[in-house]
Chains A and B, each alone.
Chain A
Amino acid sequence: MDEIIKAPPLSRRRLLGALIATGAAAAVGPRISAAQPDAIITRPIPSTDEKLPAVGLGSWITFNVGYDDAARASCAEVMRNFFEAGGRLIDSSPMYGSSQATIGYGLYKLGKPPALFSADKVWTSPASRGPAQIEVSRKQWNVPRFDLLQVHNLLAWKEHLPTLFAMKASGQLRYVGITTSEGRRHRDFEQIMRTQPLDFVQVSYNVLDREAEARILPLAQERGMAVIINRPFRQGALIDRVARHPLPSWAGEIGCVSWAQLLLKFIIAHPAVTCAIPATTSAPHARENVGAARGPLPDKAMRQRLVSLVEQL
């Protein structure tokens, strides 16, 4: 299912960043100019076969900075590094405070990058407020239309989904999805997946929280739905847990230079996963995260090895 595409021409800065992200810089030394970075790993959206890079950018907490100009500029820098590293999908929600406005600010500062794949959510009840909320969100992002809208945490999904499908039919939206997080309402989630023609589903999945492996991920493959993975680092708690331990030597076999990359590669190596969306306030980390979508991915045995290791830490 993995598909490799050629990355666009690289600037020197971008080339260097990609090399660092794949761990190649240390090895090539003075031959750096001759090196070629691995192409970014993309996954097809099953309903259209459109390709998406396997690592995106979340905005939960990290982009909710209010009207703080310095913090918004810092978030714009995160976005710039994300796009320069080859990322496309940015995900947000009206639940995330000022995150949508921060993304809109960043997109404006970056000159509206054409690579953007905009993923937002509708999160309101009663559902009659949905269209108005979507329009407010669109204005905050300052985009002509969203690529993807998802019903956040299944709130009023029976009412919101017809609205989203109607928007898609009229060309105001490209894809429709639903979300949940931290394992909530998986039974309802499955039922909706079985009965609704969704393009995307979004769930939590990481090296320690693997409940989605049992039913949601196989069902998404069976039903031809793209899968976005939230909470890849358990809101940073996973990184905190592993950071004081050395990166296993075998991480280098798949080009990982950090725990974050190893944890992300674990996620995107699952064949059902389309895109993981780590959030960060750090521009170098944004670049490093996208770097996880380059180079080899762990096989089944290595994934199991990582599970065993992290469970022991």
Chain B
Amino acid sequence: MSEWWTYRPSSFLLFSARTYYRLFELYNAEIWPWQVLALLMGVAILVLLRKPGAWQGRTISALLAASWLWVAWAYLYSRYASINWMATYFAAAFALEALLLIVLGVGHGLVWRPPAAWISRAGIGLATFAVALQPLIGPLVGRSWSQVEIFAVAPDPTVVGTLGVLVLASGWPKWLLLPIPILWCLVSGATAWVMQSPDAALMPAAAALVIVAGGGSVLSRMAPARDASGTPALD
């Protein structure tokens, strides 16, 4: 793209806000009542986060992978791509994240060992917000209930819920699972911003919280290890 610096974010907006949110309305109507199952999956993840066990990480990872795969196919590829040619690439990225969740989360196994209480609260808070509160944001800022965005159905709450889970996780796999959700937060935030949506700051704020929590997690693990041996511990 020549003279790329002359392009503004609005140069890449191909559709109106009305069309964008109407897409959710039609999507919700077409897949009803699968939203109920999606919500149950979200609740199951929240419950599993509080029940330690060897199968916990693998089960949560499997549920998240199913959510990402569904959103990739049913929303991004089958519907969003009809108004945004870039959505095909977004769908591929979501499918890749699902694959990573299967390989790293189900295969390798995610471990929950938050190094600090505030990081634990941030993770639980984000995941709970994604499942229980984020769907209410649209109606609260004036959009129709029929356009509600639900965890495991729409990309934004699916991404925020996943970020909440990853904040709680420890070990190297989580660092490979974070980039795609964080990038989506930026893409979604930019889209909402150029559409002048009142909740445009939500997704970038979620990404910022995860980055802060990630930094806090690294620092928390390094500090005690240095005290004991002089070298940072590795997960």
Contact = CB atoms under 8 A, between A and B. Distances in A.
B14 interface: yes
Nearest to B4: A184
A61 B15 contact: yes
B13 A66 contact: no
Contacts of B16: 61-62, 64, 281
B84 to A, nearest CB: 6
A66 B6 contact: no
A65 B22 CA distance: 9
B83 interface: yes
A293 B80 CA distance: 37
Q: Which of B13, B14, B85 has the most CB of A within 10 A?
A: B14
Interface stretch (A17-25, A94-102, A160-168): A94-102
Interface in B193-216: none
Interface residues of A, number: 20
A184 B82 contact: no
Q: How large, as a class, is the contact surface on chain B?
A: 10 to 19
B10 interface: yes
B19 A184 contact: no
A98 B14 CA distance: 10
A235 B10 contact: yes
A65 B82 CA distance: 8
Contacts, number: 49
Interface string B1-45: 011001000110111100100110010000000000000000000
Contact of B84 (A97, A185, A235): A97
B79 interface: yes
Nearest to B16: A61
Nearest to A182: B6
Contacts of A182: 6, 11
Given A71-B22, A98-B83, A61 B6 contact: no
B83 A97 contact: yes
B85 to A, nearest CB: 7
Contact of A185 (B3, B13, B22, B79): B3
Contacts of A281: 16
Given A61-B14, A66-B82, A97-B85, A184 B22 contact: no
A184 B3 contact: yes
Given A61-B15, A64-B16, A235-B10, 8 more contacts: A64-B19, A66-B82, A68-B19, A95-B85, A97-B14, A97-B84, A98-B82, A154-B2
11 contacts: A64-B15, A66-B19, A67-B82, A71-B22, A96-B14, A154-B2, A184-B2, A184-B3, A184-B6, A188-B2, A235-B10
